[in-house]
Structure 1
């Protein structure tokens, strides 16, 4: 099947986001920082904001649970933009090259509806998608729930078998495979162009 559509996850693929970029200087103690990120402001908590819960509600829930960490928990979303360090240049360059081809480009991201506009405004490459982006926080659905891929497929009338889905999360890759997508699992040493060419994408 010929590839017609290329679908990008953002965090870890096109954007370098990590709460450590803020909390390393905040704590000045790596052990304490890791404890906080693993046990207090853990991924499972942040994901609920990506699923559509408001940042303020998520913050207050966690402060009630861990009042002794209240200051640190409140600092999380207050300093979120520091955690969004930069784009990932080599992969953004691939996206820019794809702009000048016949492939249809889409975004499918787990991202809070409240913080995503900052990325849109500050990184021009998002304009390449021409608004064809499905954001978990807006849809109240989150990867790896298959329903969010169905939103993308139905909204833009595309076929999974004619699409490549690119993500850095292995659970999301497995879910996409089960729906019939071609996939690329991005790791730190992945040559994205080479992987796309391997799937028959032409530049």
Structure 2
């Protein structure tokens, strides 16, 4: 079944959708393997992901760092400081097929955009490492810069206004379900991203025929 209105815009999350983000890639070889394993685990006892969330929401590293020191101690805080300073190393590659997907959408006349929960202090690494993303995307809304974040409705509405999106003609891809639901609540076509081929199938079901790579 196709969308009642032709799709004109596709909005992409970054980490896990366009860029393969790996916390441990910035730490491997610099700290003991067992410690890196704990930091990179989903239940990280040192709270790196939680502190990153603070930065994604707009807090400066200078304000987050004292919290890390107070809660985790100076040694762990120094590792977090190293991690943030070498954040580019945590972005080892693009997600397979992501660049081709952006190019094919652009060639098909569909506009492509970014919408990411990311610190305003570290986002520059994304485009420095992958300048093709900067070239292909028409613009990107970054939570840490705007001090708004997914899945709250206001960040989708900001992107909508800034990019001139018609919700009924817009598709959003994110690998986190609550962010998909946030976009759907804003009236967008929202799909959970698993890989580029599935995204192509999701787009095809909405009437955007790109083929497979």
Q: Is the TM value for this pair above 0.5?
A: yes
* 1:66 pairs with 2:72: yes
CA-CA distance at 1:12 after TM superposition? 0.3
Do the aligned partners of residues 80 and 98 (structure 1) sit closer, same or farther apart at CA in structure 2, a change above 3 Å counting? same
Name the structure 1 match of 2:141. 134
Q: Which of 158, 161, 172 is 2:165 aligned to?
A: 158
Name the structure 2 match of 1:33. 39
CA-CA distance at 1:43 after TM superposition? 2.3
Do the aligned partners of residues 20 and 105 (structure 1) sit closer, same or farther apart at CA in structure 2, a change above 3 Å counting? same
Do the aligned partners of residues 33 and 153 (structure 1) sit closer, same or farther apart at CA in structure 2, a change above 3 Å counting? closer
After superposition, the C-alpha distances for 1:36-93 in whole angstroms (9 at most, x for unaligned) are 9622234222111011111232123211221152332222212211111111131221
Q: Which of 31, 45, 67 is 2:51 aligned to?
A: 45
CA-CA distance at 1:135 after TM superposition? 0.8
Do the aligned partners of residues 98 and 31 (structure 1) sit closer, same or farther apart at CA in structure 2, a change above 3 Å counting? closer
Aligned residues: 202
Do the aligned partners of residues 85 and 100 (structure 1) sit closer, same or farther apart at CA in structure 2, a change above 3 Å counting? same
Do the aligned partners of residues 141 and 5 (structure 1) sit closer, same or farther apart at CA in structure 2, a change above 3 Å counting? same
User: SS where residue 144 of structure 1 aligns?
Assistant: coil
Report the TM-score, using the length of structure 2 for normalisation.
Answer: 0.86
Whether the 8 Å CA contact 1:167–1:173 is kept in 2: the answer is yes
Do the aligned partners of residues 183 and 32 (structure 1) sit closer, same or farther apart at CA in structure 2, a change above 3 Å counting? closer
Do the aligned partners of residues 125 and 62 (structure 1) sit closer, same or farther apart at CA in structure 2, a change above 3 Å counting? same
CA-CA distance at 1:124 after TM superposition? 2.3
Report the TM-score, using the length of structure 1 for normalisation.
Answer: 0.90
After superposition, the C-alpha distances for 1:105-152 in whole angstroms (9 at most, x for unaligned) are 11111111111112112212221113x211111111011111000001
Whether the 8 Å CA contact 2:170–2:189 is kept in 1: the answer is yes
CA RMSD of aligned residues (A): 2.1
User: SS where residue 44 of structure 2 aligns?
Assistant: helix
Name the structure 1 match of 2:128. 121
User: SS where residue 148 of structure 2 aligns?
Assistant: coil
